[in-house]
Amino acid sequence: MDRRTTLLSLLARVGCRRPQPSGPVPAASAPSAAPDPISGKVVKSEAEWKKALGPDAFHVLREKGTEPAFSGAYHDAHEPALYACAGCGQRLFDSDHKFDSGTGWPSFYQPLTPKAVLEREDRSYGMVRTEVECARCDGHLGHVFDDGPKPTGLRYCINSLALQAVKKA
Ligand SMILES: [Zn+2]
């Protein structure tokens, strides 16, 4: 088998795995509780998350809830810290990028690294917003708006309940 044939047969096999756009989906391919194949992803069942997080953080992280303004632990925090995901521990934000937005939620002008978070369009409640999720466990963190300070002009508006402050080394 030459290189080209190998490539073609590989493509053909990948093509077979594409979801069919029409026709009924066999029950066997329905979503299951199997671990996510992407390495490093944290995947738990709803019951496991509930047990690990407690009701309030579960509501924010897994049900896309929002804590009441000024209610969280970190909106007025100024100590040097890294802010990790309360769900999976991934480092998400740095106190160096935190600013007082006056909104009552911890606000950052950028994540620790661009890869730490996922951003997706959120059209709930009749608004178009950009939702911010933890890239490792897909937990809902908050939203990002374009009315932040320099240098990015962004405002990551994050729920305290989704974060866990960790002392900087
Ligand atoms: Zn996470």
**If pLDDT is split at 50, 70 and 90, which confidence band does 2 have?**
low
Surrounding ion ligand 1 within 5 Å at CB are 85, 87-88, 90, 134, 136-137, 139
Give the CATH H-level superfamily of domain 46-167: Peptide methionine sulfoxide reductase. (2.170.150.20)
Tell me the average pLDDT across 23-34. Answer: 42
Ligand 1 centroid to residue 139 C-alpha, Å: 5
Looking up tokens 């738990």, which residue turns up?
A: 44
Tell me the average pLDDT across 51-64. Answer: 97
User: What does the pLDDT read at residue 100?
Assistant: 97
Regarding pTM above 0.85, the answer is no
Ligand 1 centroid to residue 124 C-alpha, Å: 22
- Mention every residue, 6+ apart, whose C-beta is less than 8 A from residue 84: 90, 91, 92, 163, 164, 165, 166
User: What does the pLDDT read at residue 164?
Assistant: 98
The residues annotated with a catalytic role in the active site are: 157
Query: What count of other Cβ atoms lies within 10 Å of the Cβ of residue 92?
Result: 28
Question: How does pLDDT run across 63-76, given as a tens digit for each residue?
Answer: 999 999 999 999 99
